[in-house]
Amino acid sequence: MKEFELIENIFKSASMASIEGRQDLILGIGDDCAQVQVPHGQHLVFSMDTLVEGRHFPFDADPAAIGYRAVASCVSDLAAMGAKPAFFTLGLTLPDSDPQWLSAFAEGMAELAEPIGLVLVGGDTTKGPLTISLQVHGYIEPEFVVSRAGAKAGDDIYVTGVLGDAAAAVPIVTGEMMVKGDLYEHFYEAYWRPESRLIAAMALKRVVSSMLDLSDGLVQDIQHILKASGVGAHIDSSLIPMSEMLKQWQPDAALQLALTGGDDYELCFSAPVSAREEVSLITQTLHLPCTKIGQITESGFTVEGYDGQFEGWQHF
Amino acid sequence: MKEFELIENIFKSASMASIEGRQDLILGIGDDCAQVQVPHGQHLVFSMDTLVEGRHFPFDADPAAIGYRAVASCVSDLAAMGAKPAFFTLGLTLPDSDPQWLSAFAEGMAELAEPIGLVLVGGDTTKGPLTISLQVHGYIEPEFVVSRAGAKAGDDIYVTGVLGDAAAAVPIVTGEMMVKGDLYEHFYEAYWRPESRLIAAMALKRVVSSMLDLSDGLVQDIQHILKASGVGAHIDSSLIPMSEMLKQWQPDAALQLALTGGDDYELCFSAPVSAREEVSLITQTLHLPCTKIGQITESGFTVEGYDGQFEGWQHF
């Protein structure tokens, strides 16, 4: 199949219908450029993630799962800014053009993207080792942008959900480790279908002082907040939220996985003590699992009750 | 070197200085998302290109040349829309983190990007086979968007520059063919440093009826205009502009290379007969080489004086 037919058949049809009725999306796939009118008074935010087979996901994985997770990991960056998802582009490098693979991959992307109004508007498809570059774009009111730079000494530190499951799942999804039943399902889902924190983030953005999403592990990612805000942090490892499955299956490794394992795509945020009631109200209303794990300090970084390595996911 | 340091040291420093003083660029590299305020009344246009080593450029090529050409090929899509360059993102997959390679690559990108106001604002760097996904973004007044869909029967068809040199250069830049002196320099430049047609495009956008950039070869690319506009075309092969170097060096292959070879990144556009004087005035004022090569017709596609294969660059 020729490149143009391939793109047109699979991606254009997937994107065309979604663009209709969207006043912000003027031109989608099929011209030299896509064209967008950012809604009046709003800013554009965007993030690009590159995923390489054998590095960010296992070889020969289910293409629908790859598509879903590729969008999820990118959308998580929009969530961290408190942005509303708008559209995305896809740079796809493929060893061959397998229409079945592509259809499943596109369906996996659409399963997450469509309900949140994230429309595919452009990209490029080329031949080579399987590599996926996704750029997701969202809109935000400039007065409610959440950055990493607003944390103040004394603020509480929170994380959503549970940590460590996705990292624990890696040997399972690569097939290195064989587990069955509930255990398999729990960790398969944790790795391939991370919970979207978009709505939570949109609600939280008015009360947090800083926020980011956890992709490389808590102790590594939180450094970005500390550096950008010029503060320190104290974390109590006994407060780190972990699933019962993880604690039972990997009692010795659980804490290390939760502190340093990547791919959870949960939110980590700071909020002033005065906002505790509001944070609690939001998380209760949304049934959002959310745990206070420590405090922002003047300087330094300590994790009470943990003496392991502070080593997060490193790409090199 | 750790991923974060690598990104911060090389790309952040390259981008920070450029963002300063730009009112549209609110947040650059270093947060979950970059943040942009599209100028009032303007639309955002963007295009993503993915380049794979060994496929879109030779193995072990000069990193500065790769960087320059990666930006050039993308900027060519902005030109085709008549857009003003604004910012870009980079998804870079690298086999290893070689600071010297990265510096040279970043300098190559900056050499073209900086003077045209195109600022690096985000991206992702990962380990894997050398793959470059660039997304360039520009601004455009919605009333002057140039699409592929406006060509009308009777319109003239033009191309800028000369065609075929970049395709002829491939065996030279891959080292398959050894040539010396002027010949080497001419084709090396044609391949690695395609002429930017940005300014030409911004001047032409008010008079053209359709426009695109030639990346996959004239006879293949022009089909996009014909399909989008619902028209045909007649091209006179004796009018196709070719360099003296190409005609002398490859007298038998020159025309085929010019018609079907990719990577020239010249503009191909249609304009009504009534605009001939204006086109001529613009091209003379800008000293822009520009040649009328045929007409838009009701239907069909013919290339007079050429009976070779109509085969453009296919990625699969």
Q: What is the pLDDT of residues B252-288, one digit of tens each?
A: 999 999 999 999 999 999 999 999 999 999 999 999 9
DSSP 8-state symbol, A7: I
The whole-angstrom distance between B300's CA and the closest CA on chain A is: 19
Percent of the residues in chain A that have a pLDDT greater than 90, as a whole number: 77
Q: Using 50, 70 and 90 to split pLDDT, how confident is the model at B99?
A: confident
With b meaning 16 or more CB within 10 Å and e meaning fewer, what string describes B78-104? bbbbbbbbbbbbbbbbbeebeeebbbb
pLDDT at position A126, please?
A: 87
Give yes or no for residue A309 having a pLDDT over 80: no
Q: What would the pLDDT profile of A248-269 be if each residue is shown by its tens digit?
A: 999 999 999 999 999 999 999 9
CB contact under 8 A, B128 and A213: no
pLDDT at position B8, please?
A: 58
Give yes or no for residue A271 having a pLDDT over 60: yes
Give yes or no for residue B177 having a pLDDT over 50: yes
Indicate the residue of B55, B80, B135 with minimum beta-carbon distance to A32: B80
Give yes or no for residue B126 having a pLDDT over 90: no
pLDDT at position B87, please?
A: 96
pLDDT at position A1, please?
A: 44
The rounded distance, in Å, linking the Cα atoms of A85 and A95 is 30
pLDDT at position A248, please?
A: 96
Q: Using 50, 70 and 90 to split pLDDT, how confident is the model at A19?
A: confident
Indicate the residue of A37, A128, A314 with minimum beta-carbon distance to B43: A37
Residues of A in contact with B27 (CB under 8 A): 45, 145, 147
CB contact under 8 A, A91 and B32: no
pLDDT at position B53, please?
A: 93
Q: Using 50, 70 and 90 to split pLDDT, how confident is the model at A147?
A: confident
Percent of the residues in chain B that have a pLDDT greater than 90, as a whole number: 77
Q: Using 50, 70 and 90 to split pLDDT, how confident is the model at B137?
A: very high
Closest by CA position to B68, among listed B104, B100, B17: B104
CB contact under 8 A, A48 and B96: no
Chain A residue nearest residue B8, CA to CA:
A224
Is B156-304 CATH 3.90.1720.10? Answer: no
Mutate to test the interface with A, among B50, B59, B227 (most CBs of A within 10 A): B50
Percent of the residues in chain B that have a pLDDT greater than 70, as a whole number: 93
Neighbours of A182 (CB within 10 A): 9
Q: How much is the pTM? A: 0.90
When pLDDT is averaged across residues B6-13 and rounded to a whole number, the result is 66
pLDDT at position B3, please?
A: 57
Indicate the residue of A97, A122, A129 with minimum beta-carbon distance to B46: A122
What DSSP line would sit under B23-57, residue for residue? Answer: TTEEE-BTBSSEEE-PPTT-EEEEEEEEEEBTTTB
Q: What is the 3-state composition of chain B as percent helix, strand, coil, each rounded to the nearest 5?
A: 40, 25, 35
The rounded distance, in Å, linking the Cα atoms of B189 and A175 is 49
Mean pLDDT score across all residues of chain B: 91
Give yes or no for residue B31 having a pLDDT over 90: no
- The larger pLDDT score, comparing residue B311 to residue B56, is at B56
For residue B156 the two structure tokens come to 């003239």
> Hey, is the C-beta of A228 within 8 angstroms of any chain B C-beta?
yes
DSSP 8-state symbol, B82: T
> Hey, is the C-beta of B103 within 8 angstroms of any chain A C-beta?
no
Give yes or no for residue A189 having a pLDDT over 70: yes
pLDDT at position A171, please?
A: 93
pLDDT at position B147, please?
A: 83
Chain B residue nearest residue A128, CA to CA:
B52
Closest by CA position to B74, among listed B154, B132, B159, B153: B132
Residues of B in contact with A80 (CB under 8 A): 32-33
When pLDDT is averaged across residues B80-103 and rounded to a whole number, the result is 91
pLDDT at position B194, please?
A: 95
The rounded distance, in Å, linking the Cα atoms of A274 and A280 is 11
Q: How far is CA B162 from the centre of its chain?
A: 14
When pLDDT is averaged across residues A67-90 and rounded to a whole number, the result is 95
CATH superfamily of A3-144: PurM-like, N-terminal domain (3.30.1330.10)
CB contact under 8 A, A36 and B46: yes
pLDDT at position B311, please?
A: 53
Give yes or no for residue B313 having a pLDDT over 80: no
The residue type found at A241 is P
CB contact under 8 A, A148 and B314: no
Residue pair A2/B314 in contact (Cβ under 8 Å)? The answer is yes
Helix extents (H) in A31-138: 63-81, 99-113
CA dihedral B92, B97, B100, B101 (to 10 degrees): -40
Give yes or no for residue B203 having a pLDDT over 90: yes
pLDDT at position B307, please?
A: 80
Give yes or no for residue A169 having a pLDDT over 60: yes
For chain B, the C-alpha Rg in angstroms (whole number) is 20
The rounded distance, in Å, linking the Cα atoms of B34 and B31 is 7
When pLDDT is averaged across residues B225-252 and rounded to a whole number, the result is 96
Mutate to test the interface with B, among A32, A265, A268 (most CBs of B within 10 A): A32
The rounded distance, in Å, linking the Cα atoms of A35 and B138 is 9
Residue whose token pair is 């292959």: B253
Mutate to test the interface with B, among A5, A37, A50 (most CBs of B within 10 A): A50
Mean pLDDT score across all residues of chain A: 91
Residue boundaries of the structural domains of chain A: 3-144, 156-304
Q: In this predicted structure, which of A28-32, A66-70, B76-80, B225-229 has the lowest mean pLDDT? A: A28-32
Q: Measure the CA angle with vertex A300, ends A299 and A303; round to 5°.
A: 130
